[in-house]
């Protein structure tokens, strides 16, 4: 079965706290153009795009004079909604994937079920409250918002590591790689919904 050119979505969302637009193409080449006003977050989202091969254009204008929380969470919300829209009924996808991803001294495991049922297990700890100027607690907030709105069962576990930058980066790269595998069209599915229920709507 050929990949569908329709697996793309563009969304925007404006509140009193943030003004965000997201454009994605699931069957892309990992091209990205991302500007959220938060340098380290941009770097992580670029990893998510590059290693999932999902093309992403993201613009976020948030209340960074308060802190990064609203911008990070709302970007996760809209990116998740865009992915859910792009996947539509999720017909023909591989659905499941898991991976151990290494980066220097760090090893992180990610597993995903593109089930329509959102759930996040986040077994990741940081030894410092910040990476640069970015609050490490916001990594979980992003993935929670993303999984909830994309309809993903997502498990992320850091098995070991010392460098907090590496720990964060392996989380994004591991999630990217499992998304790449799980969202691939399985030619043996012949366009069928990969569930005995006949639906992946939750």
- What residues in the chain have per-residue pLDDT under 70? 1-5, 192, 194-202
Query: Is 192 within 8 Å of 66 (Cβ atoms)?
Result: no
- Return the pLDDT at 95: 94
- Return the pLDDT at 191: 76
Query: CA 94 → CA 24, 91, 147, 150, 187, distances in Å?
Result: 19, 9, 17, 16, 9
Which tokens hold the place of 10? 């563009």
Residue for token pair 């659905």: 95
Fold of the CATH domain 8-189: Ribosomal Protein S5; domain 2 (3.30.230)
- Return the pLDDT at 171: 98
- Return the pLDDT at 188: 85
- Return the pLDDT at 6: 78
In tens, the pLDDT along 95-142 reads: 999 999 999 999 999 999 998 999 999 999 999 999 999 999 999 999
What count of other Cβ atoms lies within 10 Å of the Cβ of residue 7?
A: 20
- Return the pLDDT at 5: 53
∠166-168-169 over CA atoms, to 5°?
Answer: 65
- Return the pLDDT at 52: 98
- Return the pLDDT at 195: 61
So where are the chain's domains?
A: 8-189
In tens, the pLDDT along 27-38 reads: 999 999 999 999
């Amino acid at each position: 079965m050929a990949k569908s050119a329709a697996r793309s979505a563009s969304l925007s969302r404006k509140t009193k706290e943030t003004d965000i637009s997201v454009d994605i193409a699931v069957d892309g080449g990992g091209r990205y153009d991302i500007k959220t006003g938060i340098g380290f977050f941009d770097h992580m989202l670029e990893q998510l795009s590059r290693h999932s091969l999902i093309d992403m254009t993201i613009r976020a204008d948030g209340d960074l004079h308060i802190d990064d929380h609203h911008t990070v969470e709302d970007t996760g919300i809209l990116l998740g909604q865009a992915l859910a829209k792009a996947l539509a009924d999720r017909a023909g996808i591989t659905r499941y994937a898991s991976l151990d991803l290494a980066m220097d001294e760090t090893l992180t495991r990610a597993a995903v079920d593109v089930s329509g049922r959102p759930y996040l297990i986040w077994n990741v700890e940081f030894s410092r409250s910040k990476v640069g100027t970015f609050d490490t607690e916001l990594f979980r907030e992003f993935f929670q918002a993303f999984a909830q709105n994309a309809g993903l069962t997502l498990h992320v576990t850091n098995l070991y590591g010392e460098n907090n930058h590496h720990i964060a980066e392996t989380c994004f790269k591991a999630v990217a790689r499992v998304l790449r595998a799980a969202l691939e069209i399985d030619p043996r599915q012949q366009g069928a919904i990969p569930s005995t229920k006949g639906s992946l709507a939750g």
